[in-house]
Structure 1
Amino acid sequence: MKRDKLLLMVVNVDWLFLLHRLEIANEALNRGWRVVIAAKGTGREHEIKEQGFEFVNIDISRSGTSLVKEFKTFCKLYFLYKKLHPEVVYQVTMKPVIYGTLVSKFLGISTLNSISGLGYNFTNQRKGRVQKIMIKMMRYGFNKKKNSLIFENEEDCQELRNLNIINIQNTVNVIKGIGVNLEKFSSTQQPLSDKVRILLPTRMLWDKGVREFVEAAILLKKKYNHRAIFVLCGRLDTENKEAVPLEYLEKYQIEGYLEWIGNQNDMVSQYEKADIVVLPSYREGLPVVLMEACAMGKPIVTTDAIGCKECVQEGKNGYKVPVKSVLELAEAIEKLINSPEDRTKMGKASRQKAEKEFDKKRVVKEHLTLCRELLNE
Structure 2
Amino acid sequence: MKKILFVATVENHILYFHIPFIKYFQNKGYEVHVATKLGNMQNELKGISVICHNIDFSRSPYSLNNFKALKQLVNIMKRNKYLLVHVHTPVGAFLGRLAAKLTNTKPVIYTAHGFHFYKGGPLKNWIIYYTMEKIAAHWTDGIITINKEDFEYAKKFKIRVKNGVYIVHGVGVDIKKYYINNIKLRKDYRKRYLSATDNDVIIICIGEINKNKNQMQLIKSIQRILKEKNNVYALIIGDGSERKNLQKYIKDNELEKNIKILGFRSDIPELLNASDIIGLFSYREGLGKCLMEGMAAGLPIIATDTKGARELVNDGYNGFLVPVYDIDKTVDTIKKLADDKELRTKMGSEGRKIIQDYSIDKVLKEMDEIYSLYLNKTY
Q: Give the TM-score normalised by the residue count of structure 2.
A: 0.89
Are 1:158 and 2:152 matched, yes or no?
A: yes
How big is each residue's C-alpha offset from its partner over 1:48-97, in whole Å with a ceiling of 9 and x where there is no partner?
Answer: 1221221111121123622x322111111112112212110011111121
The CA deviation at 1:369 is 2.7
Give secondary structure in 2 for the equivalent of 1:349.
Answer: helix
Matched, 1:95 2:94: no
* Structure 2 equivalent of residue 208 of structure 1: 213
- Counterpart AA for 2:75: F
Matches within 5 A, 1:240-279: 244=245, 246-279=247-280
Contact 1:252 / 1:258 at 8 angstroms: preserved in 2?
Answer: no
- For residues 130-141 of structure 1, the aligned pairs below 5 Å read 132-141=127-136
Counterpart mapping for 1:320-331 below 5 A: 320-331=321-332
Retained in 2: the 8 A contact 1:201–1:233?
yes
Does residue 1:57 correspond to 2:58, yes or no? Answer: no
Deviations, residues 300-324 of structure 1 (Å, cap 9, x unaligned): 1112211012121122211111222
Amino acid in structure 1 at the alignment position of 2:54: N
The match for 1:7 is: 4
Consecutive unaligned residues in structure 2, runs of 5 or more: 188-196
| 1:20 aligned residue (3, 17, 37) | 17
Sort the Cα spacing of 1:261 and 1:136 in 2 relative to 1 into closer, same or farther, 3 A: closer
Question: 1: distance between equivalents of 2:62 and 2:250?
Answer: 27
The worse-fitting range, judged by mean Cα deviation, of 153-162 and 322-331 is: 153-162
Residue 179 in 1 paired to residue 172 in 2? Answer: yes
* RMSD value, Cα: 2.3
* Residues 160, 166 of structure 1: 8 Å contact kept: no
* Amino acid aligned to 1:62: R
Distance 1:368 1:346 in 2: 32
2:225 paired with 1:224: no
What's the counterpart of residue 363 of structure 2? 363
Give 1:244 shift: 4.8
* TM-score calculated relative to the size of structure 1: 0.89
Once residues 324 and 333 of structure 2 are traced to their aligned partners in structure 1, the CA distance between those partners, rounded to angstroms, is 13
Report the 3-state secondary structure (helix = DSSP H, G, I; strand = E; otherwise coil) of the residue aligned with 2:178.
coil
Contact 1:236 1:246 in 2 (8 A): no
Equivalent in the alignment of 2:240: 236
CA separation in 2, counterparts of 1:253 and 1:352? 39
CA distance in 1, matches of 2:8, 2:161: 26
Aligned amino acid, residue 228 of structure 2:
K
* AA at the equivalent of 2:152: Q
C-alpha distance in 1, partners of 2:135/2:86? 19
Provide the rounded CA distance (Å) in 2 between the counterparts of 1:282 and 1:137: 20
Structure 2 contact 82–105 (Cα < 8 Å) conserved? no
Which stretch shifts more, 80-89 or 183-192?
A: 183-192
| Segments ≥4 residues shifted beyond 6 Å | none
Q: Could you list the runs of 5+ residues in structure 1 that have no partner in the other structure?
A: none
Q: Deviations over 1:148-175 (max 9, x none)?
A: 111110112323456x465774601111
Measured after TM superposition, the shift of residue 28 of structure 1 is 0.6
Asked if the contact 1:142/1:170 (under 8 Å) is kept, the reply is no
Q: 1:108–1:257: structure 2 CA closer, same or farther, 3 Å change rule?
A: closer
Query: How many residues end up aligned between the 2 structures?
Result: 364
1:83 and 1:328 mapped to 2: Cα distance?
Answer: 55
Query: CA offsets, 1:180-234, max 9 Å, x none?
Result: 1112111223554231112222222232231211111112112221x22122222
The alignment partner of 1:260 has SS state of strand
Q: 1:170 to 1:83 in 2, by over 3 A?
A: farther
Summarize the Cα distance change of 1:314–1:132 in structure 2 as closer, same or farther, 3 Å threshold: closer
Distance 1:253 1:233 in 2: 19
Equivalence for 2:110? 113
Cα distance in 2 for partners of 1:329, 1:167 equals: 44
Identity across the alignment (%): 26
Cα distance in 2 for residues equivalent to 1:17 and 1:316: 32
Give the Cα separation in 1 of the matches to 2:353 and 2:253.
36
Deviation at 1:245, TM superposition (A): 5.4
CA 1:317–1:136 in 2, change beyond 3 Å: closer, same or farther?
closer
